[in-house]
Amino acid sequence: MKPVKFPNGDLEMAGNLYLPEGFDDAETYAGIVVVHPGGGVKEQTAGGYAARLAAEGFVALAFDASHQGESGGEPRHAEDPYARVNDVRAAVDHLTTLGYVDNARIGALGICAGGGYAIHATMTDRRIKAVGGVSSVNIGEMFRQGWTGDSDVAQAIGLLEMGTAQRTAEANGGEAAFIPFSPPSLEGVEDPDMREAYDYYRTQRAQHCNTESKFTVASLPQLVTYDAFHLADQLLTQPLQLVAGREAGSFWYSETIFGKAASSVKDLHVVEGATHMSLYDTPDQMGEAMSKLGPFYKAHLAA
């Protein structure tokens, strides 16, 4: 693995490039962009999957979203879904500049919200020939309908009002405000996925100094109105491989995009006993995910 920098408009992006064992820059390889979850960074689950993809013979690029981690961009911790999708395009741009990456053999893999962003980017960027998602989430739907899909529109409207009120405050000299992506403590947290989110992001399990697992309140208007799966029934024609945990409250997102995607080649692999975040770093479950993802990319990014 080696750290890399690459441009995204006026911003500088930070990534980690994972190379196959026995790498030879005189050869050409398939390249895969790996997209981290909301509130995550490249050193967490995205890097874990990138390393496993490299072990399968791919060049894999895990990177920090703009405004987050070691990548540039102000304000810090903004979570603009449209910018996140454009980050994926910029990462693909970078792969195309590497002489050892075959530009006709580029794929994408996303985890959690990164899965939704990778799918959206694939619809809009035909350079991406195959896309995978692990514990995929349509982050806009999450803000409109809640983690498990049972919230009503009143919650969404309340979030829009909160976000626009914050914009007014900041326009008049107020300081930025933030919302945690993962619970800062377990007090009052009953949902098992959210309790595991605390364990993953807030303890030694995967806590990283480059992320505070939060986003700006001013991001809410973009988040609430975003739809990662919009037009997937028309434009998502590339092969699609989904992996989701049976016990995940987010399972319904994978079911939704699996049913909606126009892809003639698509598969949803269910990992029995897995939760949303156990697929982030549990070795045997990651291994099961890769038992589907590895052959999938080899088949659809073949020389």
Counting the structural domains of the chain, the total is: 1
Which residue segment(s) compose the domain that 18 sits in?
2-146+227-300
Domain membership flag for residue 198: no
Which pLDDT score is estimated for 223?
Answer: 98
Dist CA 229 CA 220 (whole Å)? 18
Rounded (10°) CA dihedral 52, 90, 37, 60: 0
Domain membership flag for residue 107: yes
Q: How many CB atoms lie within 10 A of CB 68?
A: 28
Dist CA 23 CA 229 (whole Å)? 36
CATH number of the domain where residue 105 is located: 3.40.50.1820
Which pLDDT score is estimated for 95?
Answer: 98
Q: Which of 178, 234, 188, 165 is nearest to 211 (CA)?
A: 178
Using the structure block, give the residue that is written with the tokens 């590497």. 98
Which pLDDT score is estimated for 74?
Answer: 97
Q: Which two tokens stand for residue 248?
A: 């995940």
Dist CA 195 CA 188 (whole Å)? 10
Question: Omega of the bond prior to 239 within 30 degrees of 0, cis?
Answer: no
Domain membership flag for residue 248: yes
For the four alpha carbons of 152, 154, 158 and 160, in that order, the dihedral sign comes to: positive
With a cut of 50, list the residues of the chain below it in pLDDT: none
For residues 96 and 122, the answer to whether their CB atoms sit within 8 Å is no
Which pLDDT score is estimated for 76?
Answer: 98
Which pLDDT score is estimated for 85?
Answer: 98
Domain membership flag for residue 153: no
Using the structure block, give the residue that is written with the tokens 């037009």. 231
Domain membership flag for residue 127: yes
Domain membership flag for residue 160: no
Domain membership flag for residue 164: no
Partner residues linked to 271 by β-bridges:
245
Cα distance between the two ends of the chain: 23
